[in-house]
């Protein structure tokens, strides 16, 4: 009798355990199905410019962000009143569904608006960038592990054409990870911060223009005055001496600290703006210009400017140059101290960023201050 009861209890426990396992498995499958369904609910904004994202499915809802044309989100729920709950990362909100393309149309637009880029795999030291799609082709330059670049063209299954420091070349596809980047929702806080930034830039430009006009006016007044040539010469000599004194006071750490203020700002080929976009030599030129130094425009010209120093004696503010093929094609600003051999450089995809000085072998180092 006891054996029978023991057997019944054992069977009951087994059934309970199995049922719990089934339920747990059911929940897991359900979650997987939901995740898969969410992946199929890709939506692309088709608004003329942007559409407001609200905190509830109604025009009475508070605006919490913007979704610009071509931005990608996932629809997690739709409502009978024509609204949709969208998600992008941790950002959630409500949008009128009429402003979103879904299904086949969304996939077509995703190919149009998605920006492809490659990232060099972590286990790769330095990846060669070549002139042609062949491992025997001439090496233009090399890029380091973890670096990212926009794709110019996918060349079959083996090669990718990219642009490095304004020069195009090819890298082997099996050494990189290919990804696609989309525009995402922008919070109201981000919108206000950007508007404030633009307002500050506009005010600064206006002030600069005003000061320039005042300087021109003062110069004209001096020219029209009856000051003797001798006095003018003396004034010029005094001005030059003042500038020389100001330059002597500048330190490499001041240069480095000033450069750090612009981390994250965008890359722009041929640009010199520290806020709106610059290329590598435009960045270093603009940094030094702030301290009264008029250094050449290109990285090749800059590599012959100042005093050449060794890697063992490098200091903050020094310029580090890298070759592209047989000529100098990239420059970075050294900001490290001691064992931290960091530089600030600017690349197409990431903009102004901190990078290790030896991500590839430097060609030379020049000291300006």
**Using an 8 Å Cβ cutoff, are 273 and 204 in contact?**
no
Whole-prediction pTM: 0.59
Q: Are 131 and 110 a contacting pair, CB within 8 Å?
A: no
Q: Enumerate domains of the chain plus CATH numbers.
A: 42-112 (2.30.30.40), 114-181 (2.30.30.40), 250-369 (3.90.1720.10)
Dihedral angle, C-alpha 293, 294, 298, 304, nearest 10 °: -70
Going across the sheet that includes 159-164, the strands are 139-144, 126-130, 167-172, 159-164, 148-155, 115-120, 176-181
48-93 pLDDT per residue, tens = 999 999 999 999 999 999 999 999 999 999 999 999 999 998 899 9
Phi, psi (deg, nearest 5) at residue 226? -95, 25
Q: Return the pLDDT at 238.
A: 37
Please tell me the distance from the alpha carbon of residue 348 to that of residue 266, in angstroms, as a whole number.
8
How much of the chain, in percent, has pLDDT values that exceed 90?
58
- pLDDT tens column, 11-32: 555 444 434 433 333 322 223 3
The string of pLDDT tens digits covering residues 106-154 is: 999 998 999 999 999 988 878 999 999 999 999 888 888 888 899 999 9
Predicted confidence at residue 261, as pLDDT, reads 95
């Amino acid at each position: 009798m006891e054996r029978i009861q023991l057997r019944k209890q054992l069977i009951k426990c087994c059934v309970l355990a199995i049922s719990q396992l089934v339920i747990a498995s059911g929940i897991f499958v359900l979650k997987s199905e939901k995740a898969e369904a969410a992946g199929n609910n890709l939506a692309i904004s088709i608004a003329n410019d942007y559409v407001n994202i609200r905190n509830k499915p109604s025009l009475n809802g508070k605006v919490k962000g913007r979704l610009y044309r071509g931005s990608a989100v996932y629809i997690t729920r739709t409502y009978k009143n024509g609204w949709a709950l969208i998600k992008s990362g941790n950002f959630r909100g409500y949008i009128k569904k009429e402003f979103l393309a879904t299904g086949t149309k969304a996939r077509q637009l995703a190919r149009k608006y998605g920006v492809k880029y490659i990232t060099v795999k972590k286990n790769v030291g330095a990846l060669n960038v070549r002139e042609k799609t062949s491992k025997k082709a001439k090496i233009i330059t090399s890029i380091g592990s973890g670096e990212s670049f926009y794709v110019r063209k996918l060349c079959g299954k083996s090669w990718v054409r990219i642009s490095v420091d304004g020069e195009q070349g090819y890298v082997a596809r099996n050494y990189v990870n290919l990804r696609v980047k989309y525009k995402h929702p922008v919070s109201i806080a981000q919108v206000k911060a950007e508007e404030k930034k633009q307002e500050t830039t506009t005010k600064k430009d206006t002030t600069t223009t005003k000061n320039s006009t005042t300087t021109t006016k003062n110069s004209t007044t001096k020219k029209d005055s009856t000051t003797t040539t001798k006095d003018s010469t003396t004034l010029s000599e005094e001005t030059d001496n003042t500038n020389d004194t100001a330059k002597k006071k500048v330190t490499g750490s001041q240069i480095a600290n000033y450069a750090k203020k612009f981390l994250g700002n965008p890359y722009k080929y041929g640009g010199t703006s520290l806020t709106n976009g610059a290329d590598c030599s435009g960045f270093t030129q603009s940094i030094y210009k702030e301290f009264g130094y008029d250094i050449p425009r290109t990285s090749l010209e800059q590599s012959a400017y100042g005093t050449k120093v060794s890697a063992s004696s490098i200091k903050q503010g020094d310029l580090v140059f890298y070759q592209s093929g047989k000529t100098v094609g990239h420059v970075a600003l050294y900001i490290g101290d001691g064992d931290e051999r960091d530089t600030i450089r600017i690349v197409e995809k990431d903009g102004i960023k901190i990078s290790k000085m030896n991500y590839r072998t430097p060609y030379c180092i020049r000291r300006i201050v």
